[in-house]
């Protein structure tokens, strides 16, 4: 077996520094939406659902995304504030799983991100009852035009139910493709004192 196959490439250490390094590389080489991640939620009864969202902030404090709290994911997070994330970057043959409790961001953070978005995206958020039944696309577009007329050239008010959530990780698991499907996995788990332990896992 050659040296390249036997050498470990996922080191123990700071999982956030490792995430930052992998994320920078993915953002450079992933063709579309290197910040896309699968978000898994569940109802209080444990019924799961998953969808893609975009990462909008990250660091030791957590991983942040924004959505309509009246949507299915928003409702599930408010009722059962635990979730899991998955980044899968085919361009660099890596993935990262993240698990932990979720908290809603404060209003100032939600306002700041909402007003950083393109104006039409802000209007779309005002017009959309995300996840609710819709009789026709024309109804949605009519609501968009009504919101556009309502706000004119003025500042668009963030709907109170349009907010952000931050997953505070208790576990991160890194996976990298290796030759001959002898892949490598390392799982980091938060210690009681706030530090991190890690172990290799069979792929």
Task: Mention every residue, 6+ apart, whose C-beta is less than 8 A from residue 61.
Answer: 166, 168
The b/e string for 41-79 (b: 16+ C-beta within 10 A; e otherwise) is bbeeeeeeeeeebebbebeeebbbbbbbbbbbbbebbee
Tell me whether residue 181 is one of the annotated catalytic residues.
yes
- Rg of the chain, C-alpha, whole Å: 20
The b/e string for 100-118 (b: 16+ C-beta within 10 A; e otherwise) is bebbbbeeebbeebbeebe
Of 181, 186, 187, 190, which residue is the catalytic one? 181
Q: Are 186 and 199 in contact (CB under 8 A)?
A: yes
Question: Hey, which residues are catalytic here?
Answer: 181
């Amino acid at each position: 077996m050659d040296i390249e196959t036997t050498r470990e490439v996922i080191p123990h250490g700071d999982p956030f520094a490792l995430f930052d390094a992998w994320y920078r590389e993915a953002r450079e080489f992933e063709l579309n939406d290197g910040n896309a991640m699968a978000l898994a939620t569940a109802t209080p009864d444990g019924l799961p659902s998953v969808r893609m969202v975009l990462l909008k902030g990250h660091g030791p404090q957590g991983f942040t995304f924004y959505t309509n709290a009246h949507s299915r994911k928003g409702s599930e997070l408010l009722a059962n504030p635990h979730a899991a994330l998955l980044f899968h970057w085919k361009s660099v043959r890596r993935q990262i799983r993240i698990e932990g409790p979720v908290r809603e961001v404060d209003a100032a953070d939600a306002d700041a991100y909402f007003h950083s978005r393109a104006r039409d995206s802000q209007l779309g958020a005002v017009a959309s009852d995300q996840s609710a039944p819709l009789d026709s696309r024309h109804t949605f577009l009519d609501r968009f035009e009504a919101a556009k007329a309502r706000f004119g050239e003025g500042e668009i008010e963030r709907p109170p139910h349009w907010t952000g959530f931050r997953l505070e990780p208790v576990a991160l698991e890194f996976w990298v493709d290796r030759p001959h499907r002898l892949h490598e996995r390392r799982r980091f788990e938060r210690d009681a004192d706030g530090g991190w332990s890690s172990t290799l896992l069979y792929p």
